[in-house]
Amino acid sequence: MASNGVGNGEFSFDNKRRTGLPKIQTQKTEDENVVCHDDSATPVKAQTLEELHSLQKKKSAPTTPIKSPHVFGVAVSEEERQKQQLQSISASLASLTRETGPKVVKGDPARQAETPKVQRPVHHHHTPALNISDSGLKFTHILYNLSPAELYEQAIKYEKGSFITSSGALATLSGAKTGRSPRDKRVVRDETTEDDLWWGKGSPNIEMDEQTFLINRERAVDYLCSLEKVFVNDQFLNWDPNNRIKVRIVSARAYHSLFMHNMCIRPTPEELEDFGTPDFTIYNAGQFPCNRYTHYMTSSTSIDINLARREMVILGTQYAGEMKKGLFGVMHYLMPKRQILSLHSGCNMGKEGDVALFFGLSGTGKTTLSTDH
Ligand SMILES: Nc1ncnc2c1ncn2[C@@H]1O[C@H](COP(=O)(O)OP(=O)(O)O)[C@@H](O)[C@H]1O
Ligand SMILES: C=C(OP(=O)(O)O)C(=O)O
């Protein structure tokens, strides 16, 4: 097998040749509190919407100056960059059958009245106007990389049963599913995955075909585009910049967006300018079910991974851990191809730079023990 997964022509998220990482350095750093870069804001302490609003205002003043964006050495205005970003999101949400993306506009529809200058909507399309439909005419509002305070507000205002706990965490309801649905998780079996994945008796990988994946993808995309607003997170996986994967998560709920905000690496404003096309996209349609008449569907829930298309579709479950486990799966597939060992473990570092890894089944304390001071 090629070290970077390119040599066999089957799969790669980029075309750089890799020879594996050097040994991980765990010596004490100059400043022993610095483990790695993290832009984590201080935890949300607000108890009322007014307090949340004041946090949002502070957040809107960037601490890192934003460089003027360039495309091939040519300066791009902020307006142009925003337009390109919306075009990219519209393209992600494009129907594969109608070849159209929704008309997207940035920002909370409830806040439009307060916003003096509304950005021009972007309509990503290849088909002539005579194919116009009601869905083609409506706008989908994009809530892009919102801050935790903004997501708390969205959850508390619009997601029934959400509240802030005394520790500052957002408590919310994930609906009927309070854990993952492994029996409803499927992976597209095709030439990309035929030889690389474990199939058949004893394997946790349940197969589906490309066509069924596309039906479910279309169902999720149509549902998301039919909503007044969707949440979009553009983030990274992997702290090592050489092996970074750009992920885009499109979801219907603030709770999902907040969960992924916490789970993935947040790009700096500069990194976001160069984000471009994501390497992997999740379409999380949450509560919207799959169609039981669709081939392979044995319940109303379906979590589908297509490694060739670099996409994951979630229908009929609001349990946010599906997104995490889906991306874990992608990393466990990709990283060994680059000779990097991927682990599902908690990890912490002692005062002398010594490292402890915590393994265990889900819910057995990896996170708790590894964050214990
Ligand atoms: N040693 C422990 N004793 C009792 N409960 C624990 C212990 N460690 C963790 N828990 C509880 O178990 C739940 C799952 O822990 P968590 O650290 O999230 O597990 P994991 O990361 O392995 O999925 C949490 O509610 C946590 O408070
Ligand atoms: C809770 C889960 O995983 P973890 O073991 O990472 O906490 C899960 O897979 O849903």
Q: Which helix (H) or strand (E) holds 347?
A: strand 346-349
Show the tokens assigned to 285. 């349609």
Show the tokens assigned to 84. 């390109």
In three-state secondary structure terms, 354 is: coil
Q: Which residue has the tokens 């088909």?
A: 127
What confidence score (pLDDT) does residue 7 get?
40
pLDDT score of 342 more than 60:
yes
Closest CA to 259 of 278, 282, 290, 241: 282
pLDDT score of 161 more than 50:
yes
Rounded to an integer, the average pLDDT of 58-83 is 58
pLDDT score of 17 more than 50:
no
Residue 368, ligand 1, Cβ within 6 A: yes
* Banded model confidence at residue 123, pLDDT cuts 50, 70, 90: low
In three-state secondary structure terms, 279 is: coil
Residues with CB under 6 A from ligand 2: 179-180, 321, 325, 362-363, 366
Cα pseudo-dihedral 328, 332, 334, 338, rounded to 10: 130
What confidence score (pLDDT) does residue 25 get?
53
**From the CA of 367, which ligand is nearest?**
1
Show the tokens assigned to 162. 């959400």
| Candidate of 178, 364, 366, 370 to mutate for ligand 1, largest count of ligand atoms within 8 Å of Cβ | 364
- In this predicted model, what pLDDT tens digit does every residue of 218-262 receive, in sequence order? 999 999 999 999 999 999 999 999 999 999 999 999 999 999 999
Ligand 2 atom 1, closest CA: 362
In three-state secondary structure terms, 103 is: strand
**From the CA of 327, which ligand is nearest?**
2
Lowest mean pLDDT among 27-41, 48-62, 117-131, 278-292: 27-41
Backbone angles phi, psi at 192, to 5 degrees: -70, -40
Which of 16-30, 83-97, 313-327 is most confident? 313-327
pLDDT score of 281 more than 70:
yes
What residue spans of 66-184 are helical by DSSP H? 78-92, 134-137, 148-158
- In this predicted model, what pLDDT tens digit does every residue of 295-339 receive, in sequence order? 999 999 999 999 999 999 999 999 999 999 999 999 999 999 999
Residues above pLDDT 90, as percent of the chain: 66
Residue 277, ligand 1, Cβ within 6 A: no
The answer to whether the complex's ipTM is over 0.85 is yes
What confidence score (pLDDT) does residue 150 get?
97
- Cα gap 305→310, rounded to integer Å: 8
* Banded model confidence at residue 137, pLDDT cuts 50, 70, 90: confident
- Cα gap 304→311, rounded to integer Å: 8
Question: Identity (one letter) of the amino acid at 326?
Answer: G
Residues 6+ apart with CB under 8 A from 67: 270, 273
